[in-house]
């Protein structure tokens, strides 16, 4: 087993009676999670599905699902992520396409007839998770054994087949190597004082986990939390009400959520006392507007510490520590933080690949043991700036540019301008096809609570003062909510569909 497997399984055994995970105000112990892990180990081994086997998981945010994730990955198998939030037909299609030899899920998901039918058609083993302390893992009726002949069984060395967020298009399935996850979790120990080689132990405090397990942020949060030996409060998803309730009850020192959550908290005018325990707020999964971070800090006195990573990176590669914030939050404003230990970065010209000096913008390239072979530079599609102190700024995606009559419009520039208007809480920008110009930018926005919608001509005048003429959106649309991926990023394909529907 890997060092991560030894650490996680060791934590489960330190004190089996100690509280480990609260969900809907009910606690499960480390022993409860351990029994699920042992049950999955036994069921998979009995079915002949040993190390290196692909095992699909219907990944709801639930303690039993969390235990199944821990079991599969630390058992040197590969978890293949299935998103139970998908409609029945799409979820069934995923199962038929993936052909896993086993699927693990909760009773509510096995109650979905298309899911059961797809599993039977594939011929896989079905495992049902329950709170039965004597038998927390049992076969699904009719799916007691592996019968399929053309199953995709093996993924040696791979810990997770994880879907990307699908922010800009159809989600892609990325194989994350076990060694990369191991090193990524070890590197993240810098944020909570955990060092490689530390023995398993339990720590005080409760960590709030609200990122979806169907996204890398949720998986990474779970493994970081368990590896640290910290109890958690698991939420189905972020909402202002459930999040602030969890903070009030558990009084964590650090909590986190996507930047959109900061806007929701500010817009809801959450009382300062409700967040009084927090000494830092971690924000990731999407770009963080420094003005938003400043507004949150001014309102609550809580530093916002951004992290930068991606599914392909097996977690984070850069981020802020509280010490860095205290020393540098003014002179490094807008940065995603300092490169994690063991991560190297450089900035190159998009066209020539020439390495650029510190302070110049170009495409970000990364090198680290958790990325590929650890010896090769991996080019991202992110526009970045790196300074001599190892702080990194991300200025949008190069491949996300809207080409309007030959001019490049970067959506993040337009979003920042829109969100600078006092009436707008959040905005998103997409490119729509145009027969004359190729593409034109279109923007949707959510108003702050209790404000009067600005007239469109006033809003356009405001934008003309902040943007070049070709950057000003051709279409502006006020919406109650923006379409989102499971990680709370704005879904560009769904937003484009909203504009198309509005025009028809």
Give the pair of three-digit tokens for residue 269: 């005018």
Tokens of residue 89, six digits: 């037909």
Query: At 425, which CATH number?
Result: 3.30.300.30
Q: Find out whether 392 and 337 touch, Cβ atoms under 8 Å.
A: yes
pLDDT in tens, the chain (504 residues): 568 899 999 999 999 999 999 999 999 999 999 999 999 999 999 999 999 999 999 999 999 999 999 999 999 999 999 989 888 998 999 999 999 999 999 999 999 999 999 999 999 999 999 999 889 999 999 999 999 888 888 888 999 998 765 444 456 678 888 888 888 788 777 667 777 778 899 999 999 999 888 877 888 889 999 999 999 999 998 899 999 999 999 999 999 888 888 989 999 999 999 999 999 999 876 778 898 999 999 999 999 999 887 666 666 788 999 999 999 999 999 999 999 888 889 999 988 889 999 999 999 999 887 776 667 888 888 889 999 999 999 887 777 788 888 788 888 889 999 999 999 999 999 999 888 888 899 999 999 998 999 999 999 999 999 998 889 999 999 999 999 876 677 888 899 999 988 887
> Would 66 be classed as within a structural domain?
yes
Please check whether residues 442 and 419 belong to one and the same domain.
yes
Q: What is the DSSP letter of 315?
A: E
Rg of the chain, C-alpha, whole Å: 23
Q: Say if 231 falls within a structural domain.
A: no
Helix (H, G, I), strand (E, B) or coil at 197: coil
Which of 436, 434, 446, 422 minimizes the C-alpha distance to 495? 446
Residues 405 and 387 in one domain: no
Q: Do both 38 and 178 map to the same domain?
A: yes
Q: Is residue 85 in some structural domain?
A: yes
* C-alpha distance from residue 35 to each of 32, 58, 119, 141 (Å): 5, 19, 25, 21
| 21 and 34 assigned to the same domain | yes
Q: Domain total for the chain?
A: 3
Please state the pTM of the whole predicted model. 0.79
Same domain, yes or no, for 76 and 114?
A: yes
Alpha carbon 244 to chain centroid, angstroms: 20
380 shares a domain with 323: yes
- Structure token pair of residue 72: 């599969």
CATH classification of the domain holding 50: 3.40.50.980
**172 and 31, same structural domain?**
yes
- The residue among 77, 78, 121 whose CA lies nearest residue 99 is 121
Q: Which of 143, 167, 182 is the last residue of a domain?
A: 182
381 in the same domain as 423? no
CA distances from 107 to 199, 318, 463 (A): 36, 39, 51
Question: Do 148 and 170 share a structural domain?
Answer: yes
Q: 73 with 63, same domain?
A: yes
The answer to whether residues 49 and 110 belong to one domain is yes
Domain range holding 375?
A: 238-399
pLDDT attached to residue 317? 84
Q: In terms of domains, do 13 and 155 share one?
A: yes
CB 407 within 8 A of CB 437: no
- Residue where a domain terminates, one of 399, 425, 447: 399
Number of helical (H) and strand (E) elements in the chain, helices listed first = 15, 25
Give the span between the Cα atoms of 453 and 169, in whole angstroms: 31
* CA 158/CA 168 separation, integer angstroms: 25
The secondary structure of 222-262, three-state, reads: HHHHHHCCEEEEECCCCCHHHHHHHHHHHCCCEEEECHHHH
């Amino acid at each position: 087993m890997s060092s991560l497997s030894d650490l996680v399984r060791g934590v489960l055994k330190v004190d089996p009676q100690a509280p480990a995970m609260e969900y809907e105000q009910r606690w499960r112990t480390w022993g409860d999670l351990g029994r699920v892990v042992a049950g999955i180990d036994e069921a998979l081994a009995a079915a002949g599905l040993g190390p290196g086997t692909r095992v699909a998981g219907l990944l709801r945010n639930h303690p039993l699902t969390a235990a199944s994730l821990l079991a599969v990955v630390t058992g040197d198998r590969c978890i293949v992520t299935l998103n139970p939030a998908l409609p029945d037909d799409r979820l069934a299609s995923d199962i038929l396409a993936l052909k896993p030899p086993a699927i693990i899920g909760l009773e509510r998901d096995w109650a979905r007839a298309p899911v059961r039918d797809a599993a039977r058609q594939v011929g896989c083993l079905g495992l049902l998770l329950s709170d039965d302390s004597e038998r927390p893992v049992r076969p699904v009726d009719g799916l007691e054994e592996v019968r399929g002949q053309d199953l995709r069984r093996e993924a040696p060395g791979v810990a997770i087949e994880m879907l990307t967020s699908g922010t800009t298009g159809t989600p892609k399935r990325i194989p994350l190597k076990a060694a990369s996850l191991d090193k990524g979790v070890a590197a993240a120990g810098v944020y909570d004082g955990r060092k490689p080689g530390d023995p398993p132990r339990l720590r005080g405090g409760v960590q709030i986990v609200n990122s979806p397990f169907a996204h890398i942020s949720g998986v990474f949060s779970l493994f970081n939390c368990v590896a640290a030996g910290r109890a958690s409060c698991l939420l189905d998803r972020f909402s202002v009400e459930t999040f602030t309730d969890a903070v009030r009850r558990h009084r964590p020192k650090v909590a986190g959520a996507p930047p959109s959550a900061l806007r929701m908290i500010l817009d809801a005018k959450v009382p300062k006392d409700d967040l009084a325990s927090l000494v830092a707020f971690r924000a990731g999964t999407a770009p963080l507007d420094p003005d938003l971070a400043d507004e949150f800090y001014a309102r609550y006195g809580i530093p916002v510490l951004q992290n930068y990573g991606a599914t392909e990176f097996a977690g984070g590669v850069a981020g802020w520590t509280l010490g860095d914030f205290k020393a540098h939050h003014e002179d490094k404003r807008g940065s995603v933080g300092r490169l994690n230990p063991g991560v190297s970065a450089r900035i190159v010209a998009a066209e020539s690949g020439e390495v650029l000096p510190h302070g110049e913008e170009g495409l970000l390239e990364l090198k680290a043991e958790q990325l590929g072979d650890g010896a090769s530079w991996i080019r991202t599609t992110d526009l970045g700036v790196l300074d001599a102190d190892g702080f990194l700024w991300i200025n949008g995606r190069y491949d996300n540019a809207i080409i309007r009559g030959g001019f490049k419009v970067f959506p993040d520039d337009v979003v920042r301008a829109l969100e600078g208007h006092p009436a707008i809480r959040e905005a998103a920008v997409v490119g729509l096809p145009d027969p004359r110009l190729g593409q034109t930018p279109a923007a949707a926005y959510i108003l702050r609570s209790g404000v009067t919608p600005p007239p469109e001509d006033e809003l356009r005048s405001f934008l003309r003062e902040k943007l070049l003429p070709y950057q000003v959106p051709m279409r502006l649309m006020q919406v109650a909510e923006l379409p989102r991926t499971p990680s709370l990023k704005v879904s560009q394909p769904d937003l484009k569909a909203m504009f198309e529907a509005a025009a028809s």
